[in-house]
A and B are shown apart, each in its own frame.
Chain A
Amino acid sequence: MTEVLASERSNDSTIVTPKRGLMEGSEAIALASIAAGCRFFAGYPMTPFTEVLEHFARYLPEVGGTCINAESELEAVGMAWGALATGERAATGSTGQGLSLMQESFSEATLAELPLVIFNMARGQQDYFQSTRGGGHGDYRHIVLAPVDITEAVELTQLAFHLADKWRNPVLVYGDYLTAHTRESVTIDRLDFGEVPEKDWALDGSLTGTSRSRLISPLGFEKHGRPNPGIERHLRRIADKLRDIEREEVRVETGDVDDAETVVVAFGSPAKFVRYVVRQLRAEGEKIGFVRPISLWPFPYDAVGAAAQGARTVAVFELCAGQMIDDVRLGVMRDAPVVGIGGISTDGSGFGVGPLLDAEIIRERILAVHRGGADAELPPLPDNERAL
């Protein structure tokens, strides 16, 4: 599967030959990044993210890029920071725990307006709050894109690099164990999302000593003699930009919501199961629809609110104790009761897929709410008794 990329290697950093084949999501994400022009990656192994790092390490040198096995997540994000400052497309990633370590840099990179792309191959959906609210300090947000499958991961990975450059704001791609390890047949072409602003802020040392030297800083500093925004105005400008993103970058998929009595909201890999079950139930005549937020931030509040109009119950299926449900409630605004039908479910290791991610079990839980309303008693969560 490597021969296409290797044999048609090009010096033109923007050209990566189309690659088609059955491959796991980790490989597809690395190749999609390279197709998007990513030339730098730094990371630290952590299940289930590890294979993303492996594939970057394997492919980036083939296109003249660099992948560094960083000593810690703190350093990985710092290295990406330096690469981004030179104007190159660069990324890092981990799973939730590792991303916790990077949070200081995540919020400050937002304030430095660095177009960082982050891959989170999460353990279940434990990191919704971390991704959409952030564990870092201050007023910052990251655009968060959650692919439902590998084909969409290829697209959203490339979109992530585009949006990062377009807005000069970090973008996080939220995957999970299934995203990273499921094999699908995909084609990787460079996707064109349109022009991005020229990176006149990027630096290479060439303006040192010219009185036009550049400064990339999260602190709102400017070089002496130039208008210096100061930290307050700098932070307000970023906040204004984030509001613009909130208006313009909402992405969502909905299905059968118009006359739905029950609306199920789910994102990422679990949404694939939910979508399948809802379509199945719809075919059986049940008035059930689904909403799948593709951008977790900005969250599709309007789409969720519209879907809830006329619905008896809004059910949220997520693989955690209940995080996205807060956003769903904000979107529904008391127009319908909102109830969580997911829960914590892992394999024995805590890294992978738990028994809850099963179409039959999800079907039972949706039907319980569909028939019994928000107060319906849900079947007990399936346990995973197997220890590591």
Chain B
Amino acid sequence: MTTPLGPTLGPVLDTTVAPTQGARKVGDLKPDLLLTQEHHMCPGCGEPLVLRSFLESLSELGIAQRSIAVVGIGCYTSFSMTMDVDLIQALHGRAPSVATGAKRMRPDSIVFTLQGDGDMVNEGLQEVLHTAARGESVTCILLNNGVFGETGGHMTATTVLGQRTKNSLDGRDAEYHGYPILIGDLIARLEGAEYVARGSVHNAGAVARTKRMIKRAFEIQRDGGGFTFVEVLTMCPTGWFLPTGDGPDYMHETLGEVHVMGELKENGRIRTTEELHEENVRRQQEIEARLAAGGLDEHE
């Protein structure tokens, strides 16, 4: 069947006759590893999307029942209570060390950390770098929104230049506040790091790609590999002082321009954020060129 928008994925519901059966639930939107859908996040927050991604990944890989989470301090800390995961609550910045101790004592388990940019890149930068350098077989997941969300939108080490926060009111100024840290690039250079990726949850495609990254990281850990790291850009409209609906576009156009999505280290190949950026620019130019030539179909 073809519609004016192209081929559809399934039959179109005939609305000219009464339905043959009552409405029913055809799918559960709650991941198995979540005890409740209640949460304490603000509207428009990107963190629950990452929560869903890694919880579903654990279930789909069949490794849930040997998984240990180590959670830092931030908005996401309240997930500690709602995730149906054996969980160690760590102090601000300390999760990678705690994960190290747990993994060394229980090498058959899957140990992962959940940390924000304030937790990991500010307070605990040395922890994550040394854990990566040691090649600990753990997975660190970074929720990067470029602000301390829980305190109400303050500058972190990943805040991009020009970004306005409660303690950089006129925007982050390199002269005055210094430069943002591209944490993935630092980790990718370390020998012990096996897989380093940066995802985002600004649209459905990015969410799907991010979930693949998380799954890949867990697979490597499951197979006994070294340190794995997935950074995910997450919306924080509250901490950015934006209307809720503006979060994804703002993130894509500001944080996403600096913390570029892609695989920074895979199968021993390191790609810098700069290279990822150049690839994106090249791809965009190609698309524009083909569009101009009329040679691009609607699926691209």
Could you tell me which A residues sit within 8 Å of B by CB distance?
A: 39-40, 42, 66, 68, 70-72, 74-86, 88, 90, 104-105, 108, 112, 203-211, 213-219, 221-225, 228
B82 near A213 with CB under 8 A, answer no
B104 near A213 with CB under 8 A, answer no
Enumerate chain A residues within 8 angstroms of B83, measured Cβ to Cβ. 213
Top 10 A-B residue pairs of the complex, sorted by shortest distance between their CB atoms = A82-B101, A78-B97, A217-B89, A83-B101, A82-B102, A82-B98, A79-B101, A203-B86, A209-B64, A224-B35
**Known: A81-B97, A82-B88, A216-B89. Is A209-B36 also a contact (CB below 8 A)?**
no
**Known: A208-B67, A209-B64. Is A83-B89 also a contact (CB below 8 A)?**
no
Q: List 30 A-B contacts (CB under 8 A).
A: A40-B105, A74-B97, A75-B100, A75-B130, A78-B94, A79-B98, A81-B90, A82-B98, A82-B99, A82-B104, A85-B88, A86-B105, A105-B91, A203-B68, A204-B109, A205-B110, A208-B64, A208-B85, A209-B32, A209-B58, A209-B65, A211-B35, A214-B87, A215-B86, A216-B88, A221-B89, A223-B35, A224-B38, A224-B82, A225-B36
Judged by a CB distance under 8 angstroms, whether B84 is at the interface is yes
B81 near A105 with CB under 8 A, answer no
Judged by a CB distance under 8 angstroms, whether B33 is at the interface is yes
Enumerate chain A residues within 8 angstroms of B269, measured Cβ to Cβ. none
Judged by a CB distance under 8 angstroms, whether B209 is at the interface is no
Residue of B nearest to A211 (CB): B84
Residue of B nearest to A206 (CB): B65
B104 near A66 with CB under 8 A, answer yes
The number of residue pairs between A and B whose CB atoms lie closer than 8 Å in the complex comes to 164
Residue of A nearest to B85 (CB): A208
Enumerate chain A residues within 8 angstroms of B122, measured Cβ to Cβ. none
Residue of A nearest to B34 (CB): A224
The interface centre, meaning the residue of B59, B67, B89, B101 with most chain A CB atoms within 10 A of its CB, is B101
**Known: A208-B84, A208-B85, A228-B81. Is A78-B98 also a contact (CB below 8 A)?**
yes
A82 to B103 alpha-carbon distance, docked (Å): 8
**Could you say which of B33, B82, B104 contacts A208, with CB atoms under 8 Å apart?**
B33
A124 to B70 alpha-carbon distance, docked (Å): 37
Could you tell me which B residues sit within 8 Å of A by CB distance?
A: 32-33, 35-36, 38, 58-59, 64-68, 70, 77, 80-91, 94, 96-106, 109-111, 126-127, 130
A211 to B109 alpha-carbon distance, docked (Å): 18
**What would 14 more interface pairs be, CB under 8 Å, given A85-B88, A88-B105, A209-B85?**
A66-B104, A71-B127, A75-B97, A75-B100, A78-B96, A83-B104, A208-B67, A209-B59, A213-B84, A215-B87, A216-B89, A221-B80, A221-B81, A224-B35
A76 to B105 alpha-carbon distance, docked (Å): 15
Min distance, Cβ A288 to any Cβ of chain B, angstroms: 48
Residue of B nearest to A221 (CB): B81
A164 to B110 alpha-carbon distance, docked (Å): 27
**Known: A203-B88, A215-B80. Is A70-B97 also a contact (CB below 8 A)?**
yes
A208 near B101 with CB under 8 A, answer no
